[in-house]
């Protein structure tokens, strides 16, 4: 079987659904549509803020294809337990709004979109955390105004100056006074413990985000909380600063040990799957694939289970870079797809020579 086999959209739905269940313990249909690139995250975020009457108009696929996807998703998740949590926009100034995905009535599919299916292996504790996350009121969001364009409050007509905060709901802008959030103080992101504690001590809370137009996404800048809560959090953080520093050192030591163990295990798996691969190359493959934070094959969730497919992919990646002219082709601006095709026979030959005869 060629390892470059392209999946068609139906196979993708099956693969994405099962991979997501495996990796994160639960899966929702909207997530699958985003993963298929049929839905962009900016539109999804705006829909979640109640800016669109439904989401269907933004799906980049035909209704027929979507119908197929719904059917496959339903079949793949049939028999699994689920948490039903309607998509809701939690309004500060109006009544809460239930968000609709479809443009036309179809109760069955609409309900399917609200279901978060659980993996058979998910722990009770993880299920409860997920249930809490899905059913709790999401954090209130306040925006940092970074644009040069002047913003006017829709209620009192005050101007929101640059670098000030505003609240937005259903395409309308409100100054913090009208949103009754003006008594809160800003705590910049950076100290996660301080922010978490300040949030805990505060009666009111809002997350401050700014739209990054280059990356086309909202990014967190800090939080708005009671002034008193920040002071309390600062005191509590200074009290256990030493204790937390010791814990940090311990956990980083543990991480180094875990990484070492994981690389060792990975090495063993490569050697057992490719017994004729020279020892030096086996270690090189394992070390390269398992670097923390590299996002390489070895660091992905599936690979942590050390399954044959992940090991094979790591070996392929290694051969591609070390035993073919792939990198040189890339440097010569050959398209990636062509490069991969050109070096495929060399990779297959090498793989065979390292496997048992």
| Interacting residues with Zn ion (CB under 5 A) | 153, 155-156, 158, 175, 178
CA dihedral for 33, 39, 41, 45, sign (positive or negative) = negative
CA dihedral 307, 130, 18, 36 (to 10 degrees): -120
Residue with tokens 């920040």: 230
| Pair of tokens at residue 128 | 């409860």
Cα–Cα distance measured from residue 220 to residue 207, given in angstroms and rounded to the nearest whole number: 7
Q: Which of 37, 6, 32, 5 is nearest to 17 (CA)?
A: 32
Considering beta carbons, is residue 157 or 333 the nearer one to Zn ion? Answer: 157
User: What is the nearest approach in angstroms of Zn ion to the Cβ of residue 183?
Assistant: 14
User: What is the nearest approach in angstroms of Zn ion to the Cβ of residue 172?
Assistant: 11
Considering beta carbons, is residue 87 or 166 the nearer one to Zn ion? Answer: 166
User: What is the nearest approach in angstroms of Zn ion to the Cβ of residue 91?
Assistant: 17
Considering beta carbons, is residue 180 or 327 the nearer one to Zn ion? Answer: 180
Give the chain's radius of gyration (CA, Å). 25
Pairing of strands 26-27, 115-118: antiparallel
Considering beta carbons, is residue 172 or 321 the nearer one to Zn ion? Answer: 172
User: What is the nearest approach in angstroms of Zn ion to the Cβ of residue 169?
Assistant: 13
Considering beta carbons, is residue 165 or 326 the nearer one to Zn ion? Answer: 165
Considering beta carbons, is residue 153 or 184 the nearer one to Zn ion? Answer: 153
Separation in Å, CA 263 to CA 73, 260, 297: 36, 5, 13
Alpha carbon distance, N-terminus to C-terminus of the chain: 17
Q: Which of 182, 193, 87, 86 is nearest to 142 (CA)?
A: 182
User: What is the nearest approach in angstroms of Zn ion to the Cβ of residue 142?
Assistant: 13
User: What is the nearest approach in angstroms of Zn ion to the Cβ of residue 58?
Assistant: 31
């Amino acid at each position: 079987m060629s390892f470059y086999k392209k999946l068609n959209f139906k196979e993708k739905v099956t693969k994405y659904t099962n991979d997501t269940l495996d990796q994160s313990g639960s899966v929702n249909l909207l997530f699958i549509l985003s993963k298929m690139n049929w839905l962009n995250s900016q539109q999804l975020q705006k829909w979640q803020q109640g800016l669109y009457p439904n989401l269907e108009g933004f799906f980049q696929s035909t209704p027929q294809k979507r119908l197929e996807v719904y059917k496959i998703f339903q079949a793949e998740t049939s028999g699994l337990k689920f948490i039903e949590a309607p998509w809701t926009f939690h309004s500060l100034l109006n009544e809460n709004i239930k968000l609709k995905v479809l443009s036309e009535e179809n109760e069955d599919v609409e309900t399917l979109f609200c279901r978060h299916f659980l993996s058979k292996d998910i722990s009770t504790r993880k299920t409860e955390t997920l249930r809490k996350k899905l059913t709790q009121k999401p954090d209130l969001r306040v925006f940092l105004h970074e644009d040069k364009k002047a913003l006017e409050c829709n209620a009192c007509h005050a101007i929101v100056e640059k670098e000030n905060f505003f609240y937005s709901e259903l395409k309308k802008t409100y100054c913090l006074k009208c949103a009754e959030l003006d008594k809160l103080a800003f705590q910049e992101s950076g100290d996660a413990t301080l922010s978490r504690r300040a949030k805990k001590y505060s009666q009111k809370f809002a997350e401050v985000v700014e739209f990054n137009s280059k990356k086309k996404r909202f990014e967190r800048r800090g939080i708005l909380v009671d002034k008193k809560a920040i002071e309390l959090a600062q005191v509590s953080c200074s009290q256990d600063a030493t204790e937390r520093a010791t814990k940090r050192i311990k956990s980083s030591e543990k991480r180094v040990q875990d990484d070492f163990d994981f690389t060792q295990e990975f090495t063993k798996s490569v050697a057992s799957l490719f017994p004729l691969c020279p020892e030096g190359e086996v270690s090189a493959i394992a070390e390269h694939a398992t670097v923390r934070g590299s996002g390489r094959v070895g660091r992905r969730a599936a690979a942590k289970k050390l399954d044959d497919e992940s090991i094979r992919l790591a070996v392929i990646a290694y051969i591609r870079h070390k035993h073919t002219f792939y990198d040189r082709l890339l440097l010569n601006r050959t398209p990636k797809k062509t490069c991969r095709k050109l070096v495929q026979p060399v990779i297959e030959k090498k793989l065979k020579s390292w496997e048992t005869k």
